[in-house]
């Protein structure tokens, strides 16, 4: 197990993990920094206002693109999922559904976080 939990890869629920829909880039940047331990690495005004956040080399981005945040989010493959869940809970993020799921004959420890912007995240690690 790693000394510090790590993001390994992020997969979008809809189309693009670097253009998840939000209404306020500053609020998104602050929340994901404080609760997911991500750092802002890029901002752009075109083609839509956007901010890119990163943790452990994994990038997730947010854009004011008119999308429905309640229908989007990402699955994030991690290392050290129990430590990550503890870290997020200490930061004030509400986690839910700590469980083992089976997919394609493999088992994954998972938990979920719904961010204030409405986006949903499934954090998972192979058992």
Query: What backbone torsions phi and psi does residue 71 show, to the nearest 5 degrees?
Result: -115, 15
How does pLDDT run across 25-80, given as a tens digit for each residue? 999 999 999 999 999 999 999 999 999 999 999 999 999 999 999 999 999 999 99
Task: Band the pLDDT of 2: cuts 50, 70, 90.
Answer: low
Fold entry, domain 6-126: 2,3-Dihydroxybiphenyl 1,2-Dioxygenase; domain 1 (3.10.180)
Place 104 in a pLDDT band, splitting at 50, 70 and 90.
very high
Separation of alpha carbons 117 and 70, rounded Å: 8
First to last CA, the chain: 12
Q: How far, in Å, CA of 54 to CA of 42, rounded?
A: 9
Whole-model pTM: value is: 0.94
Where do the structural domains in the chain lie, given as residue ranges? 6-126
For residue 3, the model assigns a pLDDT of: 77
- What pLDDT score does 103 carry? 92
Sheet holding 39-44, edge to edge: 20-21, 58-63, 50-55, 39-44
């Amino acid at each position: 197990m790693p000394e510090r939990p790590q993001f390994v890869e992020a997969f979008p629920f809809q189309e693009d993990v670097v253009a998840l829909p939000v209404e306020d880039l500053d609020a998104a940047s602050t929340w994901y920094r404080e609760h997911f331990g991500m750092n802002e690495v890029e901002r752009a005004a075109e083609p839509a206002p956007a901010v890119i956040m990163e943790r452990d080399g994994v990038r997730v981005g947010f854009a004011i693109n008119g999308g429905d945040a309640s229908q989007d989010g990402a699955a994030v493959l991690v290392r050290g999922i129990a430590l990550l869940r503890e870290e997020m809970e200490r930061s004030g993020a509400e986690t839910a559904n700590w469980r083992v799921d089976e997919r394609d004959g493999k088992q994954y420890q998972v938990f979920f976080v719904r961010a204030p912007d409405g986006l949903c995240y499934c954090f998972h690690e192979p058992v």
